[in-house]
Amino acid sequence: MIPYYFPPSGGSGVQRTLKFVKYLPEFGCEPVVLTAKNADYPAYDQTLVKEIPKGVRVYRSKIIEPYAVYRKLTGKKMGEALDVSLLTLGAKKRHLSERFSEWVRDAFFVPDARIGWLPFAVEMGKKIIRRENIDLLYTTAPPYTTLLIGLFLKRATGLPWLVDFRDSWIGWLTAPQWRPKLSRQLELWMERSVLREADRILVVSGGIKEDLLSRHPHLDDARWVLLPNGYDTRDFENVPAPPKDNRLTLTYTGSLYGPRNPHYLLLALKELFEEKPELRQQLKFKFIGRIGETILKELRQPEFEGVFETLPYLKHKESVGHLLAGDVSLLIIDDAPVNKGILTGKLFEYIGARRPILALAPEGNAAELIRRYRLGYVVHPKDVAGIKKVLSQLLENWQRGALQFEAKETDVLQFDRRRLAEKLAAIFREVTDCNKRNTL
């Protein structure tokens, strides 16, 4: 299993692979992990290291991280979590060094800024395959360099290979929106090669499959498998939660930057408070994670004093505790065509918390999932009147003690990480069995 994000990495990107590694041994699979050594992660969470089962071998190969140069150019300190692809988005004024660094990344780092890991991971990967008698390769993206590592190892060894898309690729939110023509053509060739040579293509949402096939329609075949994100039931057991507030508390976990922002929510709140000033004392919003400076300024406007609480990135257990202490889980997905297929990991954490979800989201996979399983409320992120109406309804239900999570438990349990690991183990067995038959 070849992930870039692996403990001590924090953030949502680490959870999927970590939980598979945690539960696959229960279903007859023995994970061996190849990840990066001393990687420069956007967030760190040492507590997640404890979730790696004893006996699982974790190899860490050298990586050349360009962010060391970026830090020198921009004055960022070592140990200060950063991600060029996120933290510069939406900033109204950026230093010339930041703009130059982003241009260099978009033009020359194809498929992404982790390309310096490729030669070292491939070299170590070949040794691991011989030493550990590996039966199958699994790579997960982003970053997309992991897929190239898998491609090279597949070609070198002939082993069956699964690629796992947590996000789509070209033009997706986690990839550069612009590249020079030659760089874009190279990236398109990489994407096509990966999709053509993988034995199975896992996607966390139907929208990701649609986006990938929009560029490669001839590759629509039986290799595609929908395997959604999930939540770990054990993460919600014996969690120390902060005291509940005496106000209706809506909790958001994750990053807020650029177009992903609560601007229209703030407009709705301004109108609501003008019409009913007393509601200012009944509502609280808690934002946990990395927040862009321009958004922080909006949240700190005088009319919102006491309404918004912002906390930095927290350890995973602490973040879960805040979800459990809240009344409603807040999801924000910005209105962009590419976001139709987004099913973020936090959505499934919200499902595991079993609190009603308020999704400010356009029509797409997330909206459909929430409606299908009665997980909460969906409002278009720019519908100020609609946001006001839903907030008023939530307040009314909360005051009457009628605020409930209405989803059926059977529907919720299908997203349990252990059950998803069982499905992945079945896919592993199917692929390796097919490979053996084809060899014979």
Categorize the per-residue pLDDT at 338 as very low, low, confident or very high, splitting at 50, 70 and 90: confident
- Residues 187, 315, single domain; the answer is no
Q: Would 326 be classed as within a structural domain?
A: yes
Q: Residues 225, 323: one domain? A: no
Give the residue among 190, 152, 150, 193 at the shortest CA–CA distance from 170.
190
Instruction: Locate the DSSP E strands across 196-274.
Output: 200-203, 224-226, 248-253
Per the structure, how many domains does the chain have? 2
Same domain membership, residue 353 and residue 258: yes
Write out the residue range of the structural domain in which residue 211 sits: 12-66+109-230+417-439
pTM for the full predicted model: 0.90
Same domain? For 212 and 128 the reply is yes
* One domain, residues 168 and 194: yes
In sequence order, the 6+-apart residues with CB closer than 8 A to the CB of 375 are 350, 351, 356, 357, 369, 405, 406, 407
Distance, in Å, from the CA atom of 423 to the CA atom of 80, rounded to the nearest integer, reads 38
Do 239 and 350 fall into the same domain?
yes
Flag whether 80 is in a domain.
no
Question: In this structure, are 160 and 223 located in the same domain?
Answer: yes
Please indicate, yes or no, if residue 85 is contained in any of the structural domains. Answer: no
Confidence class for position 436, pLDDT limits 50, 70, 90? low
Q: What's the token pair of residue 305?
A: 């004093």
Would the pLDDT of 135 be above 60?
Answer: yes
Q: Which residue has the higher pLDDT, 335 or 318?
A: 318
DSSP string for 148-206: HHHHHHHHHH---EEEEESS--TTSTTS-S---HHHHHHHHHHHHHHHHH-SEEEESSH
The tokens 């360009």 sit on which residue?
A: 66
Q: How many CA atoms lie within 13 A of 285 on its CB side?
A: 19
In a domain, 79, yes or no: no
Both 427 and 345 in one domain: the answer is: no
Same structural domain, 57 and 188: yes
Residue 339 burial (10 A CB sphere; 0-12, 13-18, 19+)? buried
Please give the average per-residue pLDDT across 354-366, as a whole number: 96
Q: Which amino acid is at 303?
A: E
Q: Tell me if 181 is assigned to some domain.
A: yes
In a domain, 86, yes or no: no
CATH number at residue 42: 3.40.50.2000
- Euclidean distance between the first and the last CA atom of the chain, given in angstroms as a whole number: 26
Q: Residues 157-169: pLDDT tens digits? A: 999 999 999 999 9
Same-domain check for residues 220 and 248? no
- Is 27 found in the same domain as 165? yes
Place 301 in a pLDDT band, splitting at 50, 70 and 90. very high
Q: Is residue 297 part of a domain?
A: yes
Whether 137 has a pLDDT exceeding 70, the answer reads yes
Instruction: Tell whether 182 and 329 lie within a shared domain.
Output: no
Residue 402's contacts (CB-CB under 8 Å, 6 or more residues apart) are none
Residue 5 lies in a domain: no
